[in-house]
């Protein structure tokens, strides 16, 4: 029997909560159904299986990540926007480790939904890069560079892989400043 008021968004929201609490790899459809007080077959009214749930969690995560990053970068431009975007990404990824795990293999060009879910992020990055004289081509390289750094750093933090006594936050800030300095170097090369 389907639970009244239960829809796909509620199923994905609950799965996100469970993934953040227990880890994405521990989420099974039976566990999700029990937490929603429904029978496992009722989940198929909303998702087609575990792979579909992971895909939906990936979209959910990027949608919320985009909201966080756009909010962080509002009222900024240029290098400050890039720094704010990076901070917004890192904060969301480390506050939502299970959802972030579902987001790791995101490919913007996979389909229409994945292309739409991060449109604002790419737009803000392009505007910020253009405002300091960085070309569209270099902007695309920068997006890849920042993504690689942010995903890798966040993944290491989420898995408690940094053991040195230095505060991880200090290392993140240092790394972000280093990337921004590299961007400034690109700008200087054009002058």
pLDDT in tens, 43-74: 999 999 999 999 999 999 999 999 999 999 99
E strands along 59-190, which residues? none
In this prediction, residue 1 carries a pLDDT of 44
Q: Rounded to whole angstroms, how far apart are CA atoms 181 and 186?
A: 9
Over residues 168-186, mean pLDDT: 92
In this prediction, residue 64 carries a pLDDT of 96
Q: What is the pTM of this model?
A: 0.90
In which element (H, E) is residue 151 found? Answer: helix 136-158
pLDDT in tens, 97-116: 999 999 998 888 888 888 88
CA 127 to chain centre: 20
Q: Rounded to whole angstroms, how far apart are CA atoms 46 and 183?
A: 44
């Amino acid at each position: 029997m389907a639970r009244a008021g239960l829809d796909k968004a509620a199923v994905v929201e609950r799965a996100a909560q469970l993934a953040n609490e227990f880890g994405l790899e521990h989420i099974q459809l039976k566990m999700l159904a029990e937490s929603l007080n429904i029978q496992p077959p009722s989940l198929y009214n909303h998702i087609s299986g575990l792979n579909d749930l992971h895909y939906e969690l990936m979209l959910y995560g990027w949608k919320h990540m985009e909201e966080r990053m756009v909010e962080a970068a509002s009222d900024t431009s240029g290098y400050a926007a890039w720094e704010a975007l990076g901070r917004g990404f890192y904060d969301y990824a480390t506050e939502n480790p299970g959802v972030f795990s579902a987001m790791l293999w995101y490919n913007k060009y996979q389909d229409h939904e994945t292309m739409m879910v991060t449109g604002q992020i790419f737009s803000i990055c392009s505007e910020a890069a253009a405002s300091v004289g960085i070309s569209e081509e270099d902007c695309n390289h920068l997006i890849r560079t920042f993504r690689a750094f942010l995903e890798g750093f966040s993944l290491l933090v989420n898995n408690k892989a940094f053991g040195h006594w230095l505060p991880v936050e200090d290392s993140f800030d240092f790394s972000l400043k280093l990337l921004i300095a590299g961007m400034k170097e690109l700008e200087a090369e054009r002058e």
